[in-house]
Amino acid sequence: MHSLSIFIVEDEPLIAATIETALQKQGFNVIGDAENYDDALSAIQKQKPDLVLLDIQLEGERDGVELAMEFDKKNIPYLYLTSQTDPETVDRVKQTQPLGFIVKPFTEAGLRSNIELAWHNLSLAGDDYLIIKSEGETYKLNQQDILYLKAFDNYCFVVTKDHKHLVPKTLKHTAEGLNPSHFAKSHRSYIVNLKKISKMTIDSLFINGTEIPLSSANKEHIKERLRS
């Protein structure tokens, strides 16, 4: 697991420092913290952490649940880390989409396991989404929108109809998060979404007007997959 960059939203400086120390001891990279809604939202949008640890009780009028609602709109992954478990708060939390809910006081082992499990689930996201990082930003792509992947040295491009994301991982590594029922290798440098193929020739596939090489080694496999 790579060293996740984590941002802490906590209104008690001493508790924030304790959380930061615990995270660093567990191998995570803490890139910042904030005590209130506005500072947190501004810093997180600039720093683009992989994950946010979010307390519900914050400095100021707006609390962590309200901030979580903004995170949901902007697809920012977060975990609640809070001591507030009263029924009213839990009902409000149900209106948001956190990756988890960690109750204070926490143990270092519990903190790590909750974070790793949440990130693992987000990275897999079933068969429907692919989580990538491109140019310092994290994207959650619906796999139905992905046209193809193309190798580029030790990087790869993930191509949708509207975007071409350069991912700092190999084609093989990136493809591990794809649903194998819908994607297949057409060439040593390409993996295609079978549902997006509009035309097949002797040595090419066409997806959204783009010609993609089809190697002889993969041709029969692609044919069989398209028939099925």
Written as tens digits, the pLDDT of the chain (228 aa) is 357 899 999 999 999 999 999 999 988 899 999 999 999 999 999 998 989 999 999 999 999 999 999 998 888 899 999 999 999 999 999 999 999 999 999 999 999 999 988 887 776 655 577 888 888 877 878 888 999 999 999 999 999 998 999 999 999 999 988 988 899 999 999 999 999 999 999 999 999 999 999 999 999 999 998 887
Give the pLDDT score at 123.
Answer: 66
Residue 26 buriedness (CB in 10 A; 0-12 / 13-18 / 19+): middle
Q: How far apart are the C-alpha atoms of 210 and 193, rounded to whole Å? A: 13
User: What does pTM read for this prediction?
Assistant: 0.57
Calpha distance 158→218 (Å, rounded): 20
Please report the pLDDT score of residue 1 as a whole number. 39
pLDDT at 100: 92
Pinpoint the alpha helices (H) of the chain. Answer: 13-25, 37-47, 64-74, 87-93, 108-124, 171-175, 216-227
Q: What is the pLDDT of residue 125?
A: 53
How much is the pLDDT for 124? 60
Final residue in a domain of this structure, among 124, 140, 167: 124
Count the domains in the chain.
2
Residue 120: its pLDDT value, please? 73
Opening angle at CA 7, ends 137 and 129, nearest 5: 40
Residues spanned by the domain of 79 = 5-124
> Do 28 and 119 have their domain in common?
yes
- The CATH number given to whatever domain includes residue 176 is 2.40.50.1020
Task: Specify whether 138 is located in the same domain as 70.
Answer: no
Residue 187 backbone phi and psi in degrees, to 5: -165, 160
Q: What is the pLDDT of residue 117?
A: 86
